[in-house]
Structure 1
Amino acid sequence: MWKSHPKALPYLFLSEMWERFGYYLMIGIFTLYLKDVEAGFSMTEKEASDLYGTFIALVFLTPFIGGLVADRYLGYKKSIIIGGLMMGVGYFMMGIHSLQMLYVAMTLVIVGNGFFKPNISTLLGNFYNEEKYKDKKDEGYNIFYMGINVGAFICNFFGAALKILFGWQYAFMAAGVGMFIGVLVFMLGSKYYGNKAEKKGVQPGDMPFYKIVLFILLPSVVFGVIGWLLKGVQSDANPDSALFGSDSTDAFIFACIPVVLFYASLYFKAKVEDKRPIGALLAIFGVVILFWAVFKLNGSALNNWGDKYTDRELTGTSQRVASRLVLTDTLTYKKDSVPLYDEVFRIQKKDGEVIKTVDYPLYFRNVHKDKLPEEGGKVFTWSANLSQSINPGWVIMLTPLVVAFFTFLRNRRKEPSTPTKIAFGLLISALSVLVMVAAVKAGNNGAEKVSVWWLVANYGIITIGELFLSPMGLSIVSKLSPTNITSLMMGGWFLSTSIGNKLSGVLASMWDTYEDKSHFFWVNFALLLFATLLFVLLRQLNSVMTEKGIK
């Protein structure tokens, strides 16, 4: 497999695999850690989801700047190493039980990811620009994408075992170790990178960096500060008087205003021949925001569903195997300790202090009375963060099938255009949400736990949508962007991902406000169904592709 590809590919594959091992291990336990009463920060679902949304939004915002800095000043090798080391240190610091240290750690991960993620993908592409490897480019990226998902799949098993054996801090340390291994592997391949890892410098037609700072970054910071300081009407439902639910959400929304206006200005100032391609990209950016808003619920609302609403009990052989692998939590049932079912699973707080702690496993609160153990009985449950491995597991299994499907259509000259694939990806993703609506009904609106197969089915369907949409996004940006602003338009893709990630946190923070949990998922379905309006624009989008001589 490797012989027909650049010699750098195995090193880049393994570097990305270990980097994603660390990142997804951290993401898999992040909200669970924030909500832990004893060893975490006893945050409510709203607080944890809001912080999670802000975090992953900023993680996908910094690659725009990191890519430009690497392109013009640092080069790819230095940027990747710097970014990897920053992320590794950040993961280690997350295990320190201090809110201030947590914020510092998150900042390191956010900035480090900006240097690492875009540049390792760009470096890989540099090798496949050579004539002898051009026909292997798609295959090379498929191999690379597999590395991402192998790391994302296996990491949660390590995270579960270390959390159960030693505590949260050791799980975060494992994420850091994974990141450092990724950096080491990357450095071991240095002799194969040659001049492909060097900076390009400022190219003719590139927007000067000072203009990017003056017209994008500086206004964004100023607007963000204004958003943080502005207050709305204080009420019981909005004690902090935030305009959009929280100060961080206000700041993020306001910070996006000058950036969105800047991208709109690119369309109005473009040459006549560039207007339609830029307009097509901006339309796609707009709809994929809604895809990421729903897809990224995997680390918040769906993680919560796996934790509190899914039957995780193991018995017999499966329990013995999981226990030996240290993947099970042991829970003791105390009859009449607390009500069996607490509708919102909320920790009561006052002025930031916990006034009611729960020394009783929340797991039992919605177990059907016929399935409850005897007083003092023990049950074994698989660790909640393991549900985060379902999506990458599906990606590993479904990627070859999706690739084969499109190859089959291509050979018969029936392969759909890239915009059509994206539109169908949105529709398929919308259908996945209906699975969760059915899961809520099956569990009597959370009064009883449901099978994990509901989550498996949901992730399976939305993964097909992901494979139709996500790989196509960067592809269409590279195909349609005017050559002098390709980097800026790539930044637009990351911006849409970032806004979608933040919207995901906002959606998840509203979980407790829905008495009927199916309404939460109906809202998500409606958002994705609205995004499928892209089908209305397909004729125009496909005509733009034809004009550019691409499919």
Structure 2
Amino acid sequence: MTQTAVEQPVITPKQNGGHHKGLYVLFFTEMWERFGYYLMIGIFFLYLIDPTANGGKGFSNSHASDLVGTYIALVYLSPFIGGLMADRYLGYRKAVILGGTLLAAGYFTLAFPGELAMYIALTLIIIGNGFFKPNIGTILGNIYNREDLKPKKDIAYNIFYMGVNIGAFICNFVAAYLRNSLGWGYAFAAAGVGMLIGLIIFIVKSNVIAEGDIRKPVQKDDMPMSRILGLVLLPAFLAAVLGYFMHKFIGHPLFGTSSIDAFMFACVPIIIFYIRLYTTANKEDKRGLGALLAFFVVAIVFWVIYNQNSTGLTIWADQYTDRSMSPAVEKIAKPMGMLQTVTTDPHPVTQIDAQFRAVTDGQGNTITVQGPDPYFQNLPRDKWPASGKMKLISTEIFQSANPGFIVLFTLLVLGLFGWLAKRGKEPTTPVKVAMGIFIAGLSSLLMIFAAAMTNVYVDKSSMAFLVGTYAIFTVGEILVSPIGLSMVSKLSPPRLTALMMGGWYLVNSIAGKVAGMMGTFWDSFIDKKVYFMILTVAAAIAFVVMMMISKWIAGVVKEKTGGI
């Protein structure tokens, strides 16, 4: 079905400070949406492993990592479908409103107890994110494609990105206050309130951004939805079903759990589809697609390290980091609701062996026994407080380190490259990506030192290691994350841009699931240095590969855009 372009409004909104007024509408909408998203992602793992006596689910580290990894994978996979639906049928404003409504409903549903409510909530959030995430950025891009605004486009995206990080920074303080003072449900409901605030801003000021809601008519070379359904979505669904039940045929899951098997199997037809796009492309398109797919493969390693903030690094912060504070700091933290009470009182928890691994029965199910909060499970009894309780800084507060450092470091990094550019020494875009992956590897290397310098089975690690890890990684993120979408737009053939954007989200999706899969084996690593060593070595290999192909990719980018 051919779509006609949405008519542009007669009155163009006035610009504010040189920028389109729509930028600020989108800035605050995205800020509040990211407030909700990162609030939820910051406490979800903690909620899953928190004992039922405290209002949590009482899951083991392995079970929680599996579910979090699946959630992240699907959250990043759904924009592929949501973007296409908006492109072909809904339009971008309607898609954002639909997505925001589903997100808010999901967060509020997550506030209710019970596993059924939790899985319904996750489904709503995953679908809602699919409609919201790709389309709000598209509106901004369409607005700044106007001739008089094109020179301001990069600055507009930097301002927009600051909204993301402001929301991500403040949300964890709100989450800590609410979950410590009132309970988990109130914290999740706050994410829903944040999304509603963003929706109200978006709807009330919808006319200001109307000119960004422009859908181009479907071209004859565009792949029809029926073909996408037949070649990608349906085979992926069938493969997922096969993977989920694979353990019934061979007696055990191939990759540790049935959900991991389902996801890995589902990825196979999607990956084959992208390979076929490359092999069947004409000579002109093939170079761009080849460079982009090579970049995708290497970037997976970076995003696996990034997603440790929801799995491995959260486990480390929660159970292996000394989160106690001096009386002076405690006085400051208490009014802000940043203090979490942990207790040695016995209540149902996952049984842990001498190496702090979950104990399972013959069917692989974790065994629940009476025990203390997870913070004390790897701490000798002689180090337990006499009162049976401790006040600690809430685990999720560490999640604010990354967006906080992004706000602090972005201008410094951009300033450095501006200074190098004036001297003709600025690295090419692919070399920047390689540097970012290398720096991400250094962040994991610091965690190796953290695990090596402390016997985590009798003591806790300093908070400085965790904060330092986030600081180092943030520099790498500034070099890699903003470049991803830019590379897609530069290297994709115009008729395949939406599909390749879906490929970029697929990279994030696979990485999120791999991070979750690594988390399921956390308790199996007696020596925690090995866990972080895997990430460090993977980053080193990805860095070498990216450096080897950087000249080729830079050449293709220059071919297509005239820049590098």
CA contact (8 A) 1:276 1:544 kept: yes
Q: 1:397–1:370: structure 2 CA closer, same or farther, 3 Å change rule?
A: farther
Match of 1:221 in 2: 237
> Residue 418 in 1 paired to residue 418 in 2?
no
Which moves more between the two structures, 439-448 or 145-154?
A: 439-448
Structure 2 residue runs without a partner (length 5+) = 1-14
Q: 1:480–1:415: structure 2 CA closer, same or farther, 3 Å change rule?
A: same
Match of 1:152 in 2: 168
SS of equivalent residue, structure 2 residue 478: helix
Corresponding pairs, count: 543
Aligned partner (choices 23, 30, 43) of residue 37 of structure 2: 23
Match of 1:545 in 2: 557
CA contact (8 A) 1:349 1:356 kept: no
Q: 1:253–1:136: structure 2 CA closer, same or farther, 3 Å change rule?
A: same
Q: 1:101–1:315: structure 2 CA closer, same or farther, 3 Å change rule?
A: same
Q: 1:508–1:356: structure 2 CA closer, same or farther, 3 Å change rule?
A: closer
Q: 1:110–1:194: structure 2 CA closer, same or farther, 3 Å change rule?
A: same
Match of 1:269 in 2: 280
Show the 5 A alignment for 1:5-84.
5-38=19-52, 39-84=55-100
Match of 2:219 in 1: 203
RMSD across aligned C-alpha pairs, in angstroms? 2.3
Report % sequence identity.
45
Q: Deviations over 1:164-197 (max 9, x none)?
A: 1111111110111111111111112212122322
SS of equivalent residue, structure 1 residue 379: strand
Separation in 2, partners of 1:273, 1:48: 46
> Residue 388 in 1 paired to residue 399 in 2?
yes
Q: Deviations over 1:43-78 (max 9, x none)?
A: 111111011101000100111111111112111110
Q: 1:158–1:347: structure 2 CA closer, same or farther, 3 Å change rule?
A: farther
Which moves more between the two structures, 443-452 or 477-486?
A: 443-452
Match of 1:251 in 2: 262
CA contact (8 A) 2:353 2:359 kept: no
CA contact (8 A) 2:31 2:165 kept: yes
Give how far 1:350 is off: 8.6
Q: Deviations over 1:388-417 (max 9, x none)?
A: 111111111111111111222222222222
Aligned partner (choices 484, 508, 515) of residue 504 of structure 1: 515
Q: Deviations over 1:449-495 (max 9, x none)?
A: 11111011111111111111110111111111111111111111111
Give how far 1:497 is off: 1.1
Show the 5 A alignment for 1:283-294.
283-294=294-305
Letter in 2 for 1:545: V
Match of 1:237 in 2: none
Match of 2:18 in 1: 4
Q: 1:75–1:348: structure 2 CA closer, same or farther, 3 Å change rule?
A: same
Q: 1:489–1:160: structure 2 CA closer, same or farther, 3 Å change rule?
A: same
Separation in 1, partners of 2:428, 2:233: 35
Letter in 2 for 1:493: W
Give how far 1:155 is off: 0.3
Separation in 2, partners of 1:332, 1:252: 37
Q: 1:523–1:124: structure 2 CA closer, same or farther, 3 Å change rule?
A: same
> Residue 436 in 1 paired to residue 447 in 2?
yes
> Residue 400 in 1 paired to residue 388 in 2?
no
Which moves more between the two structures, 119-128 or 313-322?
A: 313-322
Match of 1:163 in 2: 179
> Residue 278 in 1 paired to residue 289 in 2?
yes
Q: 1:352–1:271: structure 2 CA closer, same or farther, 3 Å change rule?
A: closer
Letter in 2 for 1:163: R
CA contact (8 A) 1:82 1:112 kept: yes
Match of 2:3 in 1: none
For normalisation by structure 1, the TM-score amounts to 0.94
Give how far 1:358 is off: 4.0
Separation in 1, partners of 2:278, 2:485: 19
Match of 1:360 in 2: 372
Letter in 1 for 2:331: R
Separation in 2, partners of 1:369, 1:519: 27
For normalisation by structure 2, the TM-score amounts to 0.92
Give how far 1:359 is off: 4.7
SS of equivalent residue, structure 1 residue 324: coil
CA contact (8 A) 1:94 1:105 kept: yes
Match of 2:489 in 1: 478
Separation in 1, partners of 2:367, 2:85: 48
Q: 1:174–1:391: structure 2 CA closer, same or farther, 3 Å change rule?
A: same
Q: 1:541–1:189: structure 2 CA closer, same or farther, 3 Å change rule?
A: same
Q: Deviations over 1:234-270 (max 9, x none)?
A: 7xxxxx7111111111111111111101110111111
Separation in 2, partners of 1:263, 1:426: 24
Show the 5 A alignment for 1:310-349.
310-331=321-342, 343-344=355-356, 346=358
SS of equivalent residue, structure 1 residue 97: coil
> Residue 175 in 1 paired to residue 191 in 2?
yes
Separation in 2, partners of 1:89, 1:340: 36
Give how far 1:366 is off: 4.4
Separation in 2, partners of 1:104, 1:159: 21
CA contact (8 A) 2:71 2:126 kept: yes
CA contact (8 A) 2:50 2:59 kept: yes
SS of equivalent residue, structure 2 residue 341: strand
Structure 1 residue runs without a partner (length 5+) = 235-239
CA contact (8 A) 2:60 2:366 kept: no
Q: 1:348–1:227: structure 2 CA closer, same or farther, 3 Å change rule?
A: closer
Letter in 2 for 1:111: I
SS of equivalent residue, structure 2 residue 391: strand
